[in-house]
Every structure is written in structure tokens, then in C-alpha cells.
Amino acid sequence: MTAFSAPEKTSQPLPPSDSRQRVSQFLKSLQDSICEGLEALDGGSRFQEDTWERAEGGGGRSRVLREGNVLEQGGVNFSEVWGQDLPPSILVQRPEAAGHSFYATGTSLVLHPRNPYVPTVHLNYRYFEAGPVWWFGGGIDLTPYYPFEEDAAHFHRTLKQTCDRHHPEYYPTFKLWCDEYFYLKHRQETRGVGGIFFDYQDAQGILYPIAYPGSQSGTPAAEHSQRVGAIADRTWEDLFAFVQDCGQAFLPAYTPIVERRRGMEYGDRQRHFQLYRRGRYVEFNLVYDRGTIFGLQTNGRTESILMSLPPLVRWEYNYQPEPGTPEAVLYEKFLKPQDWANWQP
Amino acid sequence: MTAFSAPEKTSQPLPPSDSRQRVSQFLKSLQDSICEGLEALDGGSRFQEDTWERAEGGGGRSRVLREGNVLEQGGVNFSEVWGQDLPPSILVQRPEAAGHSFYATGTSLVLHPRNPYVPTVHLNYRYFEAGPVWWFGGGIDLTPYYPFEEDAAHFHRTLKQTCDRHHPEYYPTFKLWCDEYFYLKHRQETRGVGGIFFDYQDAQGILYPIAYPGSQSGTPAAEHSQRVGAIADRTWEDLFAFVQDCGQAFLPAYTPIVERRRGMEYGDRQRHFQLYRRGRYVEFNLVYDRGTIFGLQTNGRTESILMSLPPLVRWEYNYQPEPGTPEAVLYEKFLKPQDWANWQP
């Protein structure tokens, strides 16, 4: 594999004329199918929906399920917004978009289960158009509290199979990108066992620059970032098909893990640790997450943006897990990047 | 000045040769006296101290009191750090500091009482030197859950008396700055009933630029920001004396409020609301607070920086207080800037 070299700056092909409708239609149906699947899985509560409009253009449907059998809280959002200017944090990465109006649509979810043996999961897929540029982004990642190797392996293998149907470099590349993106530098921890993450994917073939936009230098994944350069010959249709496939992989990636763990007994100790670890989720989303920052910068609907925050959280000054405990195993093994897809018992 | 050194373009008077020792000495003794006062007030728990060193230079003393009679958690930090470069967020405001090593020292505290009738309080005073520039900054603000007008008035009057001993424009100016700085734009709420806040105070007389550094446009206080320009004829000694006086005003400003409210009975409803409102404290500190951002950007000690986060927090999607309830009164009256120093029953 050759080292990455910046692709030639040629104008990329225009998307199909019905690109916005097709993507938003898919993302809405993804929200529907995921909510249906989660209600069937939970068996207790149902999603409540709020639709909302954004003064500057667009709106969304926010759905939240509370106090379910499995989910203490789960939020699944769809949004479609447009306006005059992308925020500076995005224009730095896509200067060609400056001075053009933008269109953005996305579906995202965060699930906070009650049982500490069931991991938290996050998904977000999104699509942007602004003047001469368009791109897809998104990903999915898993955050266990009391982790199981076979769960991490199942999650990653499902994602790898999905990616491999589209390009052999997708999974290894987007897995590394996920490890780096969901890295809490101030804690020197990954958020969980990762998954896949990508941004700014378009027909120019920008896959994973060595210093990708927003890269946090010094994180573990950055050391491995020579893996891949650019893939040319990708069309808008190729990328849309890939993102659709990723979205549809959510239920098969997550629900078998829930089924395996939902009945496990737990006590105050496990609950206490789960609430503490949820604090990391808050720290990541408010300090680093670009979806959250984009939402707050573009005057998005605050309640929908912050629906990802857990229903109950603890902070504890100077907490350290005791060596030899299950809590220590999380830190020692699962909060560092691992090759889960190739895990063997 | 010798013939060999060109005069600095921004030639504010140099601080005294022992400026760093004098300020850090004061800030350490402030930490001591505040901790003593709080232990006497609490009557239950004592502060535990951790001393720490920072690899790039400097260190600190972090003190935390947990599970007290009054305080569910209280943290009081002293730190003194130095290094090669200030972070970009500060260099934008003080470009003269670029290329110079820096020195920064500060004392900060956040107290999270258990009783929802006792307000949370925050204090931070700090001092910077970098090449040709130096400045003082800081402030104090009060965040009630179930608020009392007389408490807000007492707090503000104590601060006003302190400020008025130094300059008649200090209180009105720094009160407005506080209302603007501790404004949660994404919630359209002040953090609480405010107090005073100032930054970049030096002998050049920069008091409160009409668009002060970091100003959040569109917040309520910005509408009143014509109040004052610059005060000249201030020396380093004047400003140090002012900051000392502010620090010493902490116990008289806060402890009478605790004494009045600590015995009030409360139930699940009040506790539930308190935990929910603590979420706003987390949102402010992680999204907006420049002390937190400075600490994380300069590789500070994470546990000390995030000691301000509450021990237990709730988020609730789309919560709105019911009209006519005590919770609604907080939103309607206390989370908007008010002239508390002139309040009359």
C-alpha cells in the first residue's frame, strides 16, 4: 500500500438531481425500521415522537423511548436542515463550500440500557451538499460497561461483513478512524470498543488522509494511520449504497448482544459503575463530538441534540478501578484499540 | 531600558519582580482560608488533598470534601503552571504573548450542596504573565435550584461592597460581564443569579470592551454593554489588591446563605429537580467555560479540572417546569439577568 497522497483537486461529479429526496427518504425509513426493531426488542415502552421545525430552514422528528424493559432511555433522531452558511468548523475542511447555501440530513441514535451488562450504542449517518461539494459521513460504535469479548467481536464482524461488500479497505480504515475519533484525549481512553467512523466521503476518493480532518494528534490510532490512501472511481451511487447497507446493519450488529445480556443479574456495584462510566459519554459528546457541535453552532433543536446524554450520571473525583476486578478489565483491555474482528476465544 | 533593546510596542508597566510569588502565595492562602471556613460550616467531612505535578512545568494542590453535612461534594483547587506557549484561545486575545513562555496561577472552587435549597457556588481567581503582558481574571457566581430573592440580594450586595471599595465602575461592569459569560446560549438561560466576572484586567485599563473577548453575541447582557470603556491609571498593585479583596469576600458572600437554608426540609421532588438542573452546570463547564478549556488544552490534570462536575446528575428529554410551581419561578425570574443589588422586599 502506498502512502496517502492528496487527490487532485478536480471538480467532483454532481449528485443525481433527486439526491436530497433519496437520502432523506432512506434516513427516515432507517429511523422507522430501527424504532420498530427496538420496540420489539424492548417489549416494554414505545417511542414518543416530537416533530419540530427550524426557523432558518428544515426540521426533524425526534423519538424517545423511556423506562423500557431494556432501555432506560433511547433516542432516535431524524433531521433535515438547510441554510445560508455552514459553520466555520466544517468550512475549514470543505473551503469549496464557502459562500454557498448548504443542505444536511442525518439519522442518529444513542441507547442507554438500564442493565450494566448491556452496552450503550451510538449510530449516526449523514449527508451534506453545499455548492460544488457533497459528502457522506457517519458511523456506529459500542460502549460496554461490563464487557464481553464475544460481544465486541460480533459487533465488529457484522460491520466488517457490511464494509467488505463495498470495498476491502473500508473496514480496516473506518475502524481505525473510529478508534481515533472516539478517543478521549484528556482521559487517554477510547470511548468503548469502537466500530466504524468516516467523514467527508465523496467521489474524489478522500478516504482517510494521514492527518484526517479533525485528527487528534497523539491518539493511539494515529500511529497506524498509514494504512490507506485514497480510493478513486467511487460514484455517488456507490457511497449511498454503502451508507444504506451500514444503516441496515445496525439491528443485526446490536440486538443479539442485548438478547444475550438483558437477563443478567446485577446489583448496586454494577449500577454504580455504569453511572460513573456514563460520565465519559457526556464528556465526549460535549467536548469533542462534531454532531453535537454542528447542532449547537447551527441553532439546532437543543433537546434533540442533547437527547444523547444519559438519564442519570455520576462523577467521582479520582476514581480508579481496583486491580483484578471486572471494572479494571474494562480499562485494561476494552478501552484501548483492539482487533476485535479477528478475536478468537 | 538599555540602548540595545527596542521598546515593546505594548509597553505596559512591568509587574513587581516578586509578582509571581506574591500572587501564588495569596492564592494558596485563599485556598487555605476557604477550606477552613467550609469545614467549619459543614461540620461533617474534611477536605482531602492531592498534590500533583505537571510534566511541562508546575503543579497544584487539589482538595475535595465529600459526603459532608452540607456539601455532597466540594472541590477547591490551587494551581501554578508554566510552559512554552499559551493555547490559541488565549493568544487570540493577547497576541503580544505569542512566542513567549507563560506563567499562570489560580484558585478555583465549585461546591455542590446536597440540600436543594442551598445554592451551588463557583469561584475562580487567576493571574497570567507572558512576555510583555500580564493580567488578572476571575469571578464568582451563584446557582440556586429553589431560589430566594434575599439570598441573591445578599450575594450581590456583598460583591458590590467589595468592588465599590476599588472603583465605582467595577461592580456594574463585572456584574454584566458575569451575566453574559455564564449564559447558556443553547438554553437561553443564565447559569444562575450571576455575580461578578472579569478577564484580561491590566494597567492598560482594559475593563470591559464593548465587544469583550469571547463575547457571545445575542445574549441579554450584550444589549447593555455600552456601560463602560476603559479605566486608565490602574497599577498592578491596585489590581492585585482588588483581587485579594474579592477572594476574601467569598465566605461572607456565601456562608450566610448556607446557614439560612441548610435546615430546610426537602423531598424527592426537590432532589429530582436539583439533579436535573445540575445538568446545566455540566453543559456550561464542558461547552463554554474557559477555565476548563484552558486546562484541557494545556494538558492540565483532568481530575482536578473536572472536579467541578456534580457527583450525581440527571438529564430529561424535553423537561419543562409546570406553570405556577416553584420550579417555574426559577426559570421565569432567576435565570434572567436581574438587578439583585438593588432588590427590595
What the block records as the C-alpha cell of B205 is: 485599563
Q: Dihedrals φ, ψ of B84, to 5°?
A: -80, -45
Predicted pLDDT at A90: 84
Confidence of residue B29 (pLDDT cuts 50, 70, 90): very high
**Rounded Cα gap, residues B192 and B34, in angstroms:** 22
Residue A312: list chain B partners with CB under 8 A: 275, 312-314
The C-alpha cell 452558511 sits at A85
Q: Dihedrals φ, ψ of B65, to 5°?
A: -115, 130
Average pLDDT along chain B: 89
Task: Decide: A65 and A38 in contact? Cβ < 8 Å.
Answer: yes
B210 contacts: CB under 8 Å, gap ≥ 6: B225, B226, B229
Predicted pLDDT at A230: 61
Q: Is the pLDDT of residue B4 over 60?
A: no
pLDDT digits (tens, 9 = 90+) for B62-104: 999 999 999 999 999 999 999 998 888 788 888 889 999 999 9
- Kindly report the nearest CA distance between residue A90 and chain B, in angstroms: 18
Average pLDDT, stretch A308-336?
97
Specify which of A217-221, B30-34, B175-179 reaches the highest per-range mean pLDDT. Answer: B30-34
Average pLDDT, stretch A287-303?
83
Predicted pLDDT at B130: 94
Q: DSSP characters for B111-139?
A: EEESSTTSPEEEEEEEEEEETTEEEEEEE
The C-alpha cell 421565569 sits at B332
Secondary structure letter of residue A251 according to DSSP? H
Would the CB atoms of A296 and B287 count as touching at under 8 Å? Answer: yes
**Rounded Cα gap, residues B285 and B292, in angstroms:** 6
**Rounded Cα gap, residues A298 and A305, in angstroms:** 11
Q: Active-site residue numbers of B?
A: 122
pLDDT digits (tens, 9 = 90+) for A121-138: 999 999 999 999 999 999
Confidence of residue B227 (pLDDT cuts 50, 70, 90): very low
Task: Decide: B96 and B131 in contact? Cβ < 8 Å.
Answer: yes
Q: Distance between the two ends of chain A, CA-based, in angstroms?
A: 31
Of B68, B72, B69, B102, the C-alpha closest to B85 is: B102
Secondary structure letter of residue B13 according to DSSP? P
Q: Nearest-CA residue of chain A relative to B316?
A: A311
Q: Distance between the two ends of chain B, CA-based, in angstroms?
A: 58
Beta-carbon count within 10 A of A14 CB: 12
Residue B49: list chain A partners with CB under 8 A: none
Q: DSSP characters for B292-317?
A: HHHHHHTT--HHHHGGGS-SEEE--T
What the block records as the C-alpha cell of B145 is: 435550584
Would the CB atoms of B312 and A314 count as touching at under 8 Å? Answer: yes
Tell me which amino acid residue B111 is: L
Q: Is the pLDDT of residue A3 over 80?
A: no
Average pLDDT along chain A: 89
**Rounded Cα gap, residues B11 and B132, in angstroms:** 7
The C-alpha cell 489590581 sits at B239
Task: Decide: B204 and B231 in contact? Cβ < 8 Å.
Answer: no
Sheet with B133-143: list strands edge to edge.
B48-53, B58-66, B71-83, B102-113, B120-130, B133-143, B194-201
What the block records as the C-alpha cell of B21 is: 510569588
**Rounded Cα gap, residues B178 and B221, in angstroms:** 9
Q: Nearest-CA residue of chain A relative to B48?
A: A317
Confidence of residue A1 (pLDDT cuts 50, 70, 90): very low
**Rounded Cα gap, residues B132 and B135, in angstroms:** 11
| Angle, CA of A22, A27 and A32, to the nearest 5° | 125
Average pLDDT, stretch A168-182?
89
Residue A288: list chain B partners with CB under 8 A: none
Secondary structure letter of residue A216 according to DSSP? -
Predicted pLDDT at A87: 83
**Rounded Cα gap, residues B180 and B198, in angstroms:** 11
Tell me which amino acid residue A331 is: Y
Q: Is the pLDDT of residue A7 over 50?
A: no
Q: Nearest-CA residue of chain A relative to B312?
A: A314
**Rounded Cα gap, residues A270 and A145, in angstroms:** 8
Predicted pLDDT at A210: 47
Residue B283: list chain A partners with CB under 8 A: 286, 306
- Kindly report the nearest CA distance between residue A309 and chain B, in angstroms: 7
Confidence of residue B300 (pLDDT cuts 50, 70, 90): confident
Beta-carbon count within 10 A of B135 CB: 24
Predicted pLDDT at B223: 46
Average pLDDT, stretch A82-96?
85
Average pLDDT, stretch A74-87?
93
Average pLDDT, stretch A328-345?
95
Q: Considering Cα of B225, then B228, then B233, then B235, what sign does the dihedral take?
A: negative
Predicted pLDDT at A248: 98
Specify which of A174-183, B40-49, B194-203 reaches the highest per-range mean pLDDT. Answer: B40-49
Confidence of residue B208 (pLDDT cuts 50, 70, 90): low
